[in-house]
């Protein structure tokens, strides 16, 4: 069986582990710096196995060496947003956490694909790439799957239909400048524009952009974890099972969509090698402008990163 390691045993990491176990995707290791936290959650998951009828080994450790031999590593460690906190406010703390974790990944799991969940996602993915020294296809930010599933739910709620009938694609940075592509959004195969008027679609797009913040405002302390955990597990499954599944993910661009040297959410095929292919689709002028604005916001985050971050 494949091995997946999740770094960070907080809400997002633990939820991802649960979904991975539920589908018996892989043996799972949880690693966290808090003594006893990953061990306790791993044991709790094992106690659940007879009821939920999964049979995978789940272990917890405070030692990074436990990730040795992993096929996929999911990085969730970091602090969460608080109300009124912009994603970039997280940067300095989470960069240091990601730096330490990435160096451990490079040492103990040099052949792994890394799914990055820690925010600010697109910038943290850059840190992981630099610190691991991995091939570009091996470092993948979890963004589009989460943003698309929120968009899909909001549409389903509006129409009163089964959420699984909705297909959607969301590009761009993981934040308020994300770009839901309404032309590529459908309900049971029917274009969304045939079922909802333009004003309603725009309202749902806006709610999608602010979906994470909406949950933060309710929680007061902390952020979403069920949907992020499920989204990370979905990406892990596509890689472990070599599904070559078409999803949106934050990947390092080298000229695709007119952008160079940043992580940005675009359609990709996910398989055993990580990013098997970046898919370039035709965009309208409006979509292109929105994607460029999103890329600009990511570049500003990278520029901020450069003011204090030194690789190694």
3-state SS string over 95-141?
A: HHHHHHHHHHHHHHCCCCEEEECCCCHHHHHHHHHHHHCCCHHHEEE
> Based on the structure, what is the number of domains in the chain?
2
d(CA 115, CA 141): 6
Q: Judge if 199 and 289 occupy the same domain.
A: yes
* Residue that finishes a domain, picked among 141, 176, 200: 141
Q: Judge if 95 and 69 occupy the same domain.
A: yes
Tokens 């979890």 -> residue: 142
Find, among 124, 44, 83, 38, the residue nearest to 210 by Cα. Answer: 83
Kind and range of the H or E element at 267?
strand 260-271
Six-digit token string for 93: 């703390």
Q: Judge if 150 and 123 occupy the same domain.
A: no
Longest dimension (CA), the chain: 54
Q: Judge if 195 and 300 occupy the same domain.
A: yes
Q: Judge if 133 and 185 occupy the same domain.
A: no
The answer for residues whose C-beta is within 8 angstroms of residue 125's C-beta and 6 or more apart is: 116, 139, 140, 141, 250, 252, 263
d(CA 305, CA 125): 12
Give the phi and the psi of residue 262 in degrees, each rounded to 5: -135, 160
Q: Is 47 a catalytic residue?
A: no
pLDDT computed for residue 311 by the predictor: 87
The model's pTM: 0.95
Find, among 270, 13, 292, 24, the residue nearest to 139 by Cα. Answer: 270
Find, among 5, 109, 113, the residue nearest to 57 by Cα. Answer: 5
d(CA 74, CA 13): 8
Could you tell me if 47 and 71 are in contact, meaning their C-beta atoms sit under 8 angstroms apart?
Answer: no
Q: Judge if 189 and 227 occupy the same domain.
A: yes
Residue 34 inside a domain? The answer is yes
CATH of the domain at 82: 3.40.50.720
Residue 312 inside a domain? The answer is no
Host domain of residue 216: 144-306
- For residue 68, the tally of other CB atoms under 10 A from its CB is 14
- For residue 48, the tally of other CB atoms under 10 A from its CB is 15
Please tell me which residue in 3, 130, 174, 259 is annotated as part of the active site.
174
Sites in the chain below the pLDDT cut of 70: 81-88
């Amino acid at each position: 069986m494949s091995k997946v390691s999740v770094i960070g045993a907080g809400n997002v990491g633990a939820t991802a582990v649960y979904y991975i176990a539920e589908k018996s995707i892989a043996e799972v290791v949880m690693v966290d710096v808090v003594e006893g936290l990953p061990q306790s959650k791993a044991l709790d998951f094992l106690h659940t196995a007879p009821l939920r009828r999964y049979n995978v080994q789940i272990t917890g450790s405070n030692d990074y060496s436990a990730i040795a031999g992993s096929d996929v590593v999911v990085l969730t460690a970091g602090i969460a947003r608080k109300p009124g906190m912009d994603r970039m406010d997280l940067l300095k703390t989470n960069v240091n956490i990601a730096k330490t974790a990435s160096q451990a990944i490079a040492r103990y799991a040099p052949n792994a694909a890394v799914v990055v969940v820690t925010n600010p996602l697109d910038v943290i993915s850059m840190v992981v790439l630099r610190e691991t020294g991995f091939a570009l296809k091996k470092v993948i930010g979890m963004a589009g799957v989460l943003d698309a599933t929120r968009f899909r739910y909001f549409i389903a709620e509006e129409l009163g239909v089964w959420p699984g009938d909705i297909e959607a694609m969301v590009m761009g940075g993981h934040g308020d400048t994300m770009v839901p592509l309404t032309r590529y959004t459908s309900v049971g195969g029917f274009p969304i524009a045939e079922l909802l008027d333009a004003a309603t679609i725009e309202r749902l797009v806006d709610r999608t952009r602010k979906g994470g913040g909406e949950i933060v405002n309710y929680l007061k302390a902390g952020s979403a974890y069920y949907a992020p955990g499920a989204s990370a597990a979905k990406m892990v499954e596509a890689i472990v099972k070599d599904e070559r599944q078409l999803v949106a993910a934050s990947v390092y661009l080298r000229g695709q969509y007119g952008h160079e040297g940043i992580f940005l959410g675009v359609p990709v095929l996910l398989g055993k090698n990580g990013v098997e292919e970046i898919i370039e689709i035709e965009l309208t002028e409006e979509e292109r402008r929105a994607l460029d604005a999103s890329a600009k916001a990511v570049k500003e985050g990278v520029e901020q990163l450069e003011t204090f971050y030194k690789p190694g």
